[in-house]
Structure 1
Amino acid sequence: MAEQTSSRSKSVCTKGQYLVPCLKVNTKKTEVMASSRRDVEVNIKDKDNARLKQVQEFKYLGVTVDTRGGSQVARRARVAAAWNKWRELSGVISDRKMPRKLKVKLYSTIRRPVLLYGAEVWTMGKKEERILEATEMRTLRRIKGVTLRERERSADIRRELEVSDINEKVKKIRMRWYGHVKKREGGHLAKVAMESIAPGRRPRGRPKKRWRDNVREDMSPFGVRPEEALERETWRRKTGRLTLQGSLKES
């Protein structure tokens, strides 16, 4: 049993002949969540027999995690955060006297990073790609000063403003993250999670797309192999070519 000792600078506990930092948990602020396809009740109590609050989702390091898994809730949270950032910048973006290049710079350096925070681990389908594109194009049309009624193609607007496709940006950061984790040592937690396969059978019906399915789709058309991620320069060159080909395809 650890015995607490008073200290002016920080709280420490004695454990045998050693002094170790004490870990104190505020049970009133602590929440628990179960990750499962079915509703699971978690009954964890503190020493006073008070039950910890169970939630369906919570935010950790800026990323929203929910009990059903996947990344739908996280994406919605990032889109909402991006629109909040848009409202902060709306006075500048809507100012006709402001140079267009400065508006694009503000979008690329402030709003877009807010929208794509945590995107390297998102699972993306066609629907999710359309939502991201619609969110971005609404901003770019405001920057250029056009509306949907003028029926300008999204690719033309991006080319004129010199802004890359947001979905190609997601692919780029996803491949960068994949290469980063792949180079980790075998016991690293992120690598274990990425390469592990959950036991059991997938449910009936059309299976949900997985993050590794996205990675496979990104690499397959260009002949990029997973083992090439171990060579930093080779991986950067090939994944850079992958995202460049995607941009050329759009134009």
Structure 2
Amino acid sequence: ITELLLADDRALLAHTEKALQHIINRFSDAAKNFGLNISLKKTEVSYQPPPRVAYSPPHVSIDRTNLNAVEHFAYLGSVISNDATVSKDLDNRLSKASSSFGRLSKRVWQSHSLRLSTKIQVYRVVVVPTLLYGAETWVLYRKQIRLLERFHQRCLRSILGIKWQDHVSNEEVLKRASLPSIESILLQVQLRWACHLTRMEDVRLLKPVLQRAPRGES
């Protein structure tokens, strides 16, 4: 049983439904002792079944009120899915990055008073981090990387004023923008985070969780 705490958001993790109910009971009692109320509407439960095990919604409650069982939920800006994939989170990041890019259309991308290098820099420090927020732990398939690359290309072509009929290759677009591919940026982000992880003290919760081998393996 573990718990992750940040500000007023808390995620409670357990291997079994019984263990989760136990820790929630203890957490609820502790909250009452401090005069705090847990929002039952905002509290959700998600169950991640083992491979080849059929999904069944968990039954966990607080003060005899059953908590809403969901297949995915938002936590600290990321979407956590019970199937252990990043598909929902990826869709969420693409939506937010697209919105971020659109809001800067008139003031930045279409502005004639800003240099191209300035526009590219704004794109790199605003839109790309929005797109890759939480990507340090992503495990992506090739088709998902292609989705990210298409978004990257679409944005850069808009900034550079390149139309489809101009027949400019993706490599040439990256060269004109002086930017690497999204896959290269993603690998840099994940490598930087992996180096940070190895430097963590062994007592930090994140380190043993991510370095633990699956059951049955050594």
TM score, norm. by length of structure 1: 0.67
Q: 5 Å matches for 1:1-251?
A: 21=34, 23-36=36-49, 37=51, 38-47=54-63, 49-91=64-106, 92-199=108-215
SS at match of 2:80: strand
Q: Measure, in 2, the Cα distance between the counterparts of 1:164 and 1:135.
A: 14
1:7 is matched with which residue? none
One-letter amino acid matched to 1:104 = I
SS at match of 2:136: helix
Runs of 4+ in 1 over 4 A off after TM superposition: 20-23
Q: Measure, in 1, the Cα distance between the counterparts of 2:152 and 2:82.
A: 28
Shift of 1:182: 1.4
Q: Highest Rg: 1 or 2?
A: 1
SS at match of 2:104: helix
Contact preservation (8 Å) 1:63, 1:74: yes
Q: Between the two structures, name the one with larger relative contact order (CA 8 Å, sep ≥ 6).
A: 1
Q: Measure, in 1, the Cα distance between the counterparts of 2:163 and 2:113.
A: 19
Shift of 1:22: 5.1
Change (3 A) 1:26 1:162: same
Contact preservation (8 Å) 1:33, 1:42: yes
One-letter amino acid matched to 1:171 = L
SS at match of 1:26: coil
TM score, norm. by length of structure 2: 0.77
Q: Measure, in 2, the Cα distance between the counterparts of 1:182 and 1:21.
A: 37
Consecutive unaligned residues in structure 1, runs of 5 or more = 1-14, 202-251
Consecutive unaligned residues in structure 2, runs of 5 or more = 1-29
Shift of 1:97: 5.0
Q: Measure, in 2, the Cα distance between the counterparts of 1:22 and 1:40.
A: 34
Shift of 1:79: 0.6
Q: Percent identity?
A: 24
Contact preservation (8 Å) 1:64, 1:73: yes
One-letter amino acid matched to 2:117 = K
Deviations 1:123-149 (CA, angstroms, capped at 9, x unpaired) = 122212211111000000011111222
